[in-house]
Amino acid sequence: MAQAVNFLPWRARQQRRCLRIWITIFSASLLLIVLLATVLRMYALQENQRLTWVQQAGVTLQAGLAQRQTRLLAQQA
């Protein structure tokens, strides 16, 4: 009579290997999501800073133009 083969250790190793693969995939996905969120946040902060600088430059230019207009009107009068 043929002796029965025990596949239980092989199945346990296969399950551990499969679990390790899924944990790796999940961890890599989570890391990628966190990385993308960080990059998007940094981009948004830089864009906000740039817009603030543009707004300040516009205010400065507007004040300079108002001064010039006042001087030109005074010279014309």
Which tokens in the block code for residue 74?
Answer: 């005074």
Q: How far is CA 35 from the centre of its chain?
A: 6
As a whole number of angstroms, the distance between CA 12 and CA 6 comes to 11
As a whole number of angstroms, the distance between CA 15 and CA 22 comes to 11
- If one counts every other C-beta atom within 10 angstroms of the C-beta of residue 44, the result is 10
* pLDDT tens per residue across span 34-70: 999 999 999 999 999 999 999 999 999 999 999 999 9
Phi–psi pair at 71, nearest 5 degrees: -65, -40
User: Does the pLDDT at position 1 exceed 70?
Assistant: no
pTM beyond cutoff 0.75: no
